[in-house]
Each structure stands twice: as structure tokens, then as C-alpha cells.
Amino acid sequence: MKYFEQSDFVDCRINNFPSYTEYKGIQRYPPDSIFIDIDRSIFKDDKSFENALSKTLKNIKETLNGHPTVNNSGNGYHIILPTECPIILEQINNFQKYQDKGFFISQEFLRFVEIFLSNRKADSRHYPSFKSCQIRVPGSFNGKCLNNKDKRLSGDYRVKTLQQWNGYKPSITRELLEDFITHLEQKITDQENTKNNYNNNLKYKNNNFNRHNQYGNNNNRIEWIDKILQTPFEDCRKIIIDLILCPYLINIKNMSYDESYRMIREWLDKCNNLKKLDNYQNFVNYRVHSALKTATQKGIRPMSLYKIKNDDRYRNSNLYLLILQNEKGN
């Protein structure tokens, strides 16, 4: 409070986490608080800005049954939700291989939930971490707004609480951690694609890349993926959508975004009739749109059967076995 008073209550912030979160590179504190920053400047109008807040709060309710604090920072919304995360993620065996690849798991989780729960509407320049998760204090003044004439004249420069946390800490769910693993897998795939992007682009431009060897044929059709679209799957739907179907429809079949979404939605409906998913509608809204955008923006290609069979990241899943059974069944 002494520091806040000395600053005349301008740009007062407090860290969302304590100062002892790690020691000598070892994580010692769980990611038990979610912080989402939705900035007004990235939206074309107030309606889309308000819709982003409403959908984010809806996602938090459906995914975690949470009722967070919502602060108006003067230039956007800050959404803060304390959670129950009884174990440090680095201590979970399933995350060991990602640590070996250089990921700071708990910190990566903070960034993932912001993207996931906001449907990628959060400020892309915001990188929450344990040491820099700075929350503006309600009642203080936003210095950026004080320096803005319109904001200053309107009086819209004080940080306000629009919704208060209800005191309930929702637990981090298994489903959310599974989505986080899919996110990590996608990041690894993106890194690999970026690493080989230059050579691959040359091959595609010169038509020297033999798609038959990697995918199955060279006439914009991959038979084993087409069979997946005809058959509902009980498991591995997230990986199939992210790394097979969306890249296939967008970058191999050259289908439109809307047509690709329609085909995947029809396939998912069949899968859900076979084995229902919790929060199915939320899964469809986030997962399919996110994967289609990634495939469109980054031009990624679908995984090959060889990689699914031999890559350590997928060898322990049932994906290759399911595809093989699907091939025999057809």
C-alpha cells in the first residue's frame, strides 16, 4: 500500500503468484490461478469485444464450473479464477517427455488455458508466467488511459470490478489436462514443420515431393484418411482432428473452411453417437475451429501412417491400431 500511495495509485499491480514458485530451475508451485487478458484494441467493434467476454465466461462455466473475477482495466477485461491444482504438473509422469523437449510445463499450462478458454480471443501479446502475471488493482488508475485524452475526459481510467469471484475454487479436470497434452503435441509438430519449412516449400513449388510415398497418392486423395471420415471413432478424436483431418481437408483436398468444418462436424456427431463426450458442444466449438485455423494459417500437412506408427509421441496411443482396424474393416 505504501508503494501504491507513492505512485498516487497510478498503474498499481500485484502478482497473481507468490515469489517462491521455483528454486534452482525446479518448479515448486502449481499453476493454481487462471488469468485471461482480453484487450479491446484487437477487436473491430464493441459488440465483438463483449461477445469475446461472454463466450470466455461461458467456456469457464462449462469447462470448470467456475465463476471468476472480471475487472475492467480501462483498455480491456482481466479475468481471474483461483483453482484447485493439488500437484505440480512437472511431477506428473505423462508430462516428463515434454519437459525433456524443453517445455516449462506449469508455465505453458498458464498460457494454454488463456488461449483455450478464450477461444483464442485473449491478447496474443500477453504471456502469463509465475513471475510476471501482473494484475491491476481495482480502484487504481490505468496510466495508459490517463494519457489518452478521450479516456481522461470520459472518466474511464479507473480499474473497476464488474464481477466478483464467488469463493469457489474449481479443480483442474482430467479433460482439461488432456486438451493441454494435445496442445503440447501441436506445438511440437509446429516446431518440426517450421524447422523443415524452407526445404518443404521448395519441394512443393517444384512438384518434386512424392506425396504417394508419404501420404498414399498424388491426386488430392489419401485413401486411409477418407476411410476415417466414413467411420466413427471412440478414441483419439482430438489427435485425429488436429493432426490428420483438418490438415488433410484444408491443405490436401483444398476445401473451404466452412465445408471442412461441416464434414468434421458430421464425423464428430457420428463419433459422439458411438461414445458421448462431456461438454461436447464446447469441444466442437473450440477444437474444430482452432485446428482449422492452425491448418489454414500454417499450411501443415496431415501426419503420415509411418509417423503415427513409429513416433514415440503416438506409439503409446491406440491411434495406429484404430486406423489399422478401420482399414481391415473397410
Split the chain (330 residues) into runs of 10 and give each run's mean pLDDT.
90 89 84 94 92 95 95 93 92 89 91 92 85 89 80 74 96 90 82 60 46 44 85 85 91 88 91 84 82 86 78 63 64
d(CA 230, CA 209): 28
Strands (E), the chain: 13-15, 22-23, 26-27, 33-39, 69-72, 76-82, 134-136, 160-163
Spell 70-86 as b/e; 16+ CB within 10 A means b.
bbbbbbbbbbbbbbebe
Whole-prediction pTM value?
Answer: 0.63
Assign 147 to helix, strand or coil. Answer: coil
Length in residues, the chain:
330
pLDDT for 314: 63
Q: Tell me which DSSP letter residue 301 carries.
A: P
> Which residues sit opposite 39 in a β-bridge?
76
CB atoms within 10 A of CB 108: 19
The CA distances from residue 307 to 32, 200, 304, 320, in Å, are: 35, 17, 5, 10
User: Residue 245 in contact with residue 264, Cβ under 8 Å?
Assistant: yes
User: Hey, what long-range contacts does 311-319 have (CB within 8 A, 24 or more apart)?
Assistant: 312/97, 313/97, 313/185, 313/188, 314/239, 317/235, 317/236, 317/239, 318/235, 318/236, 319/235, 319/236, 319/239, 319/240
pLDDT for 258: 86
d(CA 63, CA 80): 15
User: Residue 256 in contact with residue 39, Cβ under 8 Å?
Assistant: no
pLDDT for 196: 59
> Which residues sit opposite 72 in a β-bridge?
77, 160
